[in-house]
A and B are shown apart, each in its own frame.
Chain A
């Protein structure tokens, strides 16, 4: 057997001779280390005369026999001896694993860390808003520093390119509302009120809310990922050293574009939902489009539109700030970019919905029912 490193052990009065043969390499190490595990002898001799090839793992095995059993090595070639010495030199105490923590301690630590993170995020976001306000003030004072190109590019990415998907989504949502509403209202013979349902829910809530969710998924995540990878790449640091403020160059154009695009997209979404609903009522309830449009104009008050137009920029501000903030928090490794991107989307959508609830209560109390 030349390909293997099977060994013959000869034992006589507590003396053990391990005669290795063939290749003493990583390929064979599993079997060998199992065989050698229960080696018990007062005196061990390792004979390497018949070893053809030895790699560092083989040398490690020999070194371990030397270390743990005070083995003497015979028959090693010069190269093999160098290799064994080399490996022996490398046998330093080395920490390979992190210290494991007890489960309870770990749970408490994780809970504490999560609380800390939540607190820090709140403070951090507040600080981020402050920094954003300062950079806006700076841009207003020095209008030359306003980056038209960056903002216009973001208009395109956040707004124009989202038209297709947001339009299709809203159109379908409009159909679903009309269909579900019609089924329920038919029981009372009040199918005509389907139009109220479509018009008011689309203009007041759904248009802007669905748009916010879509923008958070499309653009909020993109902001976090873009800025996050720039941060990893030290581009953000490079920017700072050149004297370009990342707040002005990266954050402000994105926030501004999102704030300005959200109302437009929200209005467009509402119109698409109404069109979807209108087509459904025309096809299945036989309400003529002209009647549908007239009815919409009668039942949807202007205040519904004002509500959504007030909410939309606020939602845009929240989504884009969450995205940019999380992106700038990235440090360490590529996994962090993914984590922060997810956080940006979840945080964005969550805060939008919480705020939407507040808005609903507020507008009702001021009489915009």
Chain B
């Protein structure tokens, strides 16, 4: 007697309920992922500008405000999504190393602290706390740089942990590319953060060509990494049944995000970052390209979050994805050989049934 083959649920007119549950987040949670990423990315931009000697105060100031603002906005969304928002502070009852959500809560809190500090320095620099030169010096000097350095790992964490958080679930599509989601989200955080800074800083009087080029070059680096990581994450697992079934729509969406949200702004960023001397019309055009590229990068980053989230939901609703991911053979690293019940014999060869010692 043998075990029957895995059921083909499409044969039933009413399939069984999915074996796992999808996350029941509100629609705006991917926006939080995006905002948190912008916050982290703009922090890195501020720190890089500060540490590499560019010292464009307009750029740094914009980035500092952006990182705090998007962080607060994102956190508000997070709290709104809770089933019991008034209990948001329960997140800080414990620390749990195996809970990405717990780590994320603490990371957000700590990052919120440095972001707040930086914003205070920036407020001092802007003279909102009284016209005291000392405050501005602190902000521009070592203290500002120290805060930036201290915030770097936290920003990197905030920019990437959301990907790890998705990966640390039983959702097949996320689990299948577990190691790649954190880096992917981080690269997207950086690209969106830089793009946001570029956009915001350029809304008023211009940043100046050099600062723009700096941003464009960093943007290019981030977008290149994002593209590469997206491709890598896509290759990390064989297409899941839900993905195979969703082709070509899903493929088109992915291609659109990769092209319009990453490749196109990458091209624009390279174009902007490469040129040293521009004049007149060219400069006007360059500015327009600059804004267009940043907008596309921001949109691409948001679209990426929705795409990844949506793919996760779909795969959670597709039983075969779970069968695939939990029955070995998907080439995921660290899998031990399949020793499943497929091999059950009524009685073992020696006629007895031995239990392992």
Please indicate whether A and B come from the same complex rather than being unrelated chains.
no
* Residues of chain A having any CB pair with chain B under 8 Å: none
